[in-house]
């Protein structure tokens, strides 16, 4: 039997790359850019805006290792941008490199009165603009020039780990700072293609559903006029609506996706950078919640919430409101996602005491689970400590990385040395983040094409993290202190 699946997939990928991606923005208008370079450690917004900003040309280098440059972008949304199915936004490319997000430049956008808007990073290189045609644009962007200390994962010695040895040569080049007119139907079609192409990659080759999805994608390519992508994007979406709505089969599980960002509190960057990463990540999460009523997000580590409370109190108040609604879900109940082998029992007990006290007193919730997806090894006394802390469940996955004695189960009751049992779950994907294996495909998160540019990333993510997930559909949680008990977790 003739099978042209590979050719069809190649055609789909080419269509997305050459037709959809370039049509994501209908128009772009450059903004005026000025900048101020912080001389040392990062400074608060109130200090930065009092400095003298000087003109900065797009294309110019910026940012010594571990430095901070504040950009101010100003302009006006064109009065003629009134077409249906469009909206203006700031498209900002700080010079994102083709390495893993979380290990390069990142930024946080503020209004002139100091209100955090959203973060920019390789998977989220745009910021919403509240005004319509004719409105003024005026934003400050705190840009961090973080070096990719482990970008090649070679583990070789590097001078980039310390500002004293990293040098002063700029690491990045400002590629674009534009007001861009987003074509919403084209962007939505791109997300449909990203979702279904990822499903095709995951399904067995002999499954009829895989063939149905692949042929629907092929029909969508046929339906879109390559010379009028904007005008025919809805026709492409119509071809995909059926397979997007169709369940796998009657006995299939229903999966509820909950957004999550795994943020290492201290790893390949200074702790002060973790403080800023938390703010960037949570800012994007809150912005997503403003635009998607079904988006639910989970995050661990009371320490990270405490950092947000100290350094971004207004953002913390917005987060508290979403926690009260059951949409921003604190998980884990510990001060940080700690190691459990080297600390003694008193230190581990204090992880729970300090963590739960913060969540109860500051946010009004008590997480019932213990959440340690990235800790290397677990004390046999942990079930006893978990029960003594009033927690009920334990989530991890790191043991699944064992090279010798592979863990045979994903869901089981773990019995500790005193006989205490705790219900335990390992996400079956054997890691703490999950994404499609294929490169994603939108130009919205890339700016102007350039030599050596990375493959554009799709789907708006939570932001500047070691791992972050796009929003998913989930049912409304229960309200109040025990709301997190109603929702299964995804690592």
Q: What pLDDT is attached to residue 433?
A: 66
Is 450's pLDDT higher than 90?
no
Report residue 68: phi and psi, to 5°.
Answer: -135, 130
Q: What pLDDT is attached to residue 1?
A: 62
**CB of 129 closer than 8 Å to CB of 31:** no
* 374 is known as an active-site residue: yes
DSSP 79: T
3-state secondary structure 217-243: HHHHHHHCCCCCHHHHHHHHHHHHHHH
Q: What pLDDT is attached to residue 153?
A: 78
Residue 333 CA to residue 305 CA, distance in Å, equals: 12
- Which sequence spans correspond to the domains of the chain? 5-21+185-245, 23-182, 259-486
**Distances from the Cα of 467 to the Cα of 176, 206, 431, angstroms:** 25, 32, 11
**How confident is the model over 461-485, as a mean pLDDT?**
30
Listed in order, strand segments (DSSP E) in 111-266 are 116-120, 126-128, 136-145, 172-173, 176-183, 259-260
Could you tell me the pLDDT band of residue 322, with boundaries at 50, 70 and 90?
very high
Is 37's pLDDT higher than 60?
yes
Could you tell me the pLDDT band of residue 71, with boundaries at 50, 70 and 90?
very high
**Would the CA dihedral through 440, 259, 468, 204 be positive or negative?**
negative
Express as a percent the part of the chain with pLDDT over 70: 88
Is 453's pLDDT higher than 90?
no
Report residue 319: phi and psi, to 5°.
Answer: -65, -40
**CB of 483 closer than 8 Å to CB of 298:** no
Compute the residue count for the chain. 491
Could you tell me the pLDDT band of residue 429, with boundaries at 50, 70 and 90?
confident
Fold (CATH) for 23-182: Jelly Rolls (2.60.120)
**Would the CA dihedral through 197, 118, 484, 417 be positive or negative?**
positive
455 closest CA partner among 115, 13, 34: 13
List the catalytic residue out of 178, 212, 374, 430. Answer: 374
Can you name the residues that pair with 137 across neighbouring β-strands?
75
Residue 281 CA to residue 101 CA, distance in Å, equals: 12
Q: For the purposes of burial, counting CB atoms within 10 Å of the CB of 266, is it exposed (0-12), middle (13-18) or buried (19 or more)?
A: exposed
pTM: 0.86
Question: What average pLDDT does the structure give for the chain?
Answer: 87
Q: What pLDDT is attached to residue 192?
A: 98
Torsion of CA 321, 326, 331, 335, to 10 degrees: 20
Is 359's pLDDT higher than 90?
yes
Q: For the purposes of burial, counting CB atoms within 10 Å of the CB of 17, is it exposed (0-12), middle (13-18) or buried (19 or more)?
A: middle
Could you tell me the pLDDT band of residue 185, with boundaries at 50, 70 and 90?
very high
Q: What pLDDT is attached to residue 409?
A: 87
163 closest CA partner among 304, 71, 42, 274: 42
More confident of the two residues 487 and 10: 10
Could you tell me the pLDDT band of residue 400, with boundaries at 50, 70 and 90?
confident
**CB of 45 closer than 8 Å to CB of 250:** no
**Distances from the Cα of 269 to the Cα of 103, 215, 412, 436, 481, angstroms:** 8, 46, 36, 27, 34
**How confident is the model over 343-366, as a mean pLDDT?**
96
Q: For the purposes of burial, counting CB atoms within 10 Å of the CB of 55, is it exposed (0-12), middle (13-18) or buried (19 or more)?
A: exposed
Is 302's pLDDT higher than 90?
yes
End-to-end CA distance of the chain: 41
Q: What pLDDT is attached to residue 403?
A: 83
Q: What pLDDT is attached to residue 16?
A: 97
**How confident is the model over 36-42, as a mean pLDDT?**
96
Is 99's pLDDT higher than 80?
no
Q: Sheet holding 86-93: strands in order across?
A: 25-30, 176-183, 86-93, 126-128
Is 421's pLDDT higher than 50?
yes
Place of tokens 């299939």: 252
259-486: CATH homologous superfamily?
Glycoside hydrolase 38, N terminal domain (3.20.110.10)
**Range 358-362, long-range pairs (CB < 8 A, 24+ positions):** 358/302, 358/305, 358/306, 359/302, 359/305, 359/330, 359/333, 360/481, 362/305, 362/306, 362/309, 362/320
Could you tell me the pLDDT band of residue 251, with boundaries at 50, 70 and 90?
confident
């Amino acid at each position: 039997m003739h099978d042209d699946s590979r050719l069809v997939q190649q055609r789909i990928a080419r269509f997305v790359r050459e037709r959809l991606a370039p049509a994501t923005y209908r128009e772009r208008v450059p903004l005026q850019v000025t900048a101020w370079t912080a001389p040392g450690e990062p400074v608060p917004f109130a200090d930065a805006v009092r400095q003298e900003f000087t003109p900065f040309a797009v294309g110019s280098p910026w940012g010594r290792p571990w430095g901070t440059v504040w950009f101010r972008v100003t302009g006006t949304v064109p009065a003629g941008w009134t077409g249906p199915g469009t909206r203006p936004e700031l498209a900002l490319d700080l010079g994102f490199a083709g390495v893993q997000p979380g290990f390069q430049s990142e930024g946080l956008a503020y209004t002139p009165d100091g209100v955090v808007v959203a973060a920019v990073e390789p998977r989220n290189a745009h910021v919403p603009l509240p005004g319509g045609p004719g409105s003024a644009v005026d934003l400050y962007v705190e840009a961090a020039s973080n070096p990719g200390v482990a970008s090649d994962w070679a583990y070789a010695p590097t001078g980039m780990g310390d500002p004293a040895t990293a040098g002063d040569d700029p690491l990045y080049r400002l590629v674009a700072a534009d007001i861009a007119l987003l074509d919403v139907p084209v962007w939505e079609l791109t997300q449909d293609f990203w979702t279904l192409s990822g499903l095709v990659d995951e399904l067995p080759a002999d499954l009829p559903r895989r063939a149905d999805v692949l042929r629907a994608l092929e029909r969508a390519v046929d339906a879109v006029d390559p010379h009028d992508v904007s005008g025919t994007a809805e026709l492409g979406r119509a071809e995909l609506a059926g397979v997007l709505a169709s369940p796998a089969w009657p006995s299939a599980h229903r999966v509820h996706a909950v957004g999550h960002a795994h943020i290492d509190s201290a790893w390949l960057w200074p702790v002060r950078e973790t403080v800023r990463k938390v703010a960037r990540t949570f800012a994007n999460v809150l912005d997503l919640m403003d635009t998607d009523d079904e988006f639910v997000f989970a995050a661990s580590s009371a320490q990270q919430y405490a950092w947000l409370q100290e350094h971004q109190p207004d953002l913390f108040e917005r987060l508290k409101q979403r926690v009260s609604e059951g949409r921003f879900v604190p998980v884990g109940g510990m001060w940080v996602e700690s190691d459990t082998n080297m600390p003694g029992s008193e230190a581990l007990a204090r992880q729970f005491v300090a963590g739960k006290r913060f969540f109860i007193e500051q946010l009004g919730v008590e997480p019932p689970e213990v959440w340690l997806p990235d800790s290397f090894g677990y004390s046999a006394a942990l079930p006893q400590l978990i029960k003594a802390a009033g927690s009920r469940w334990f989530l991890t996955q790191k043991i699944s990385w064992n090279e010798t004695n592979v863990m045979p189960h994903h869901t089981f009751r773990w019995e500790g040395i005193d006989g205490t049992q705790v219900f335990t779950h390992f996400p079956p994907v054997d890691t703490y983040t999950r994404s499609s294996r294929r490169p994603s495909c939108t130009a919205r998160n890339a700016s102007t094409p350039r030599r050596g540019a990375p493959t554009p990333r799709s789907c708006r993510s939570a932001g500047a993290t070691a791992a972050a997930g796009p929003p998913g559909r989930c049912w409304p949680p229960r309200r109040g202190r025990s709301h997190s008990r109603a929702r299964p977790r995804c690592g």
